[in-house]
């Protein structure tokens, strides 16, 4: 049996997802510090880290990881934040995720597979050095 979600909770979660998309690290950190889950995911399985990474917000990714977010949490399609950052060409985000423990081999396709697919030899070298 499934309960009907509280509209206020849905509204708050939407606000938190928007903060991650826009890279508003300080406001997002305040919600997490007040008890919002750092691994909150939307209806397609995108985590806050995924949204921040995909939209190029390295500082927001760092704030999320510092508050316990999983850098390897895949979305509903099996994609990880690191693979998304590679796809989008977000070098600073790639480095923030790697520094936060992201696994270049995780996900489908993995960040390594994505870098190969797009000929990003610099990232393949970076992944190999870790």
Is residue 58 packed enough to be buried (19+ CB in 10 Å), middle (13-18) or exposed (0-12)? buried
Q: What is the pTM of this model?
A: 0.93
Q: How many domains does the chain have?
A: 1
pLDDT at 129: 78
In a domain, 1, yes or no: no
For residue 49, what pLDDT band results from cuts at 50, 70 and 90?
Answer: very high
Buried b (16+ CB within 10 A) or exposed e, 16-36: bbebbbebbbeebbebbeeeb
Mean pLDDT (the chain, rounded): 95
Residue-number span of the structural domain to which 12 is assigned = 7-128
pLDDT at 4: 82
- Radius of gyration, alpha carbons of the chain: 15
Segment 74-89 shows an average pLDDT of 97
Decide if 64 contacts 55 (C-beta within 8 A).
no
CATH number at residue 61: 1.25.40.20
pLDDT at 130: 67
């Amino acid at each position: 049996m499934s309960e009907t979600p509280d509209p206020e909770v849905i509204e708050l979660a939407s606000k938190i997802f928007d903060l991650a998309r826009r890279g508003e690290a300080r406001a997002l950190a305040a919600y997490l510090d007040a008890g919002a889950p750092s691994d909150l995911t939307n209806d397609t399985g995108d985590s806050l880290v995924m949204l921040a990474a995909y939209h190029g917000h390295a500082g927001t990714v760092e704030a999320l990881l510092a508050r316990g977010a999983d850098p390897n949490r895949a979305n509903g399609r099996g994609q990880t934040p690191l693979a998304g950052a590679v796809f989008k060409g977000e070098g600073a985000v790639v480095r923030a995720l790697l520094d936060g423990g992201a696994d270049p081999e995780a996900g489908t396709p993995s960040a390594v597979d994505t870098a190969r697919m797009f000929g990003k030899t610099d990232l393949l070298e970076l992944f190999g050095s870790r």
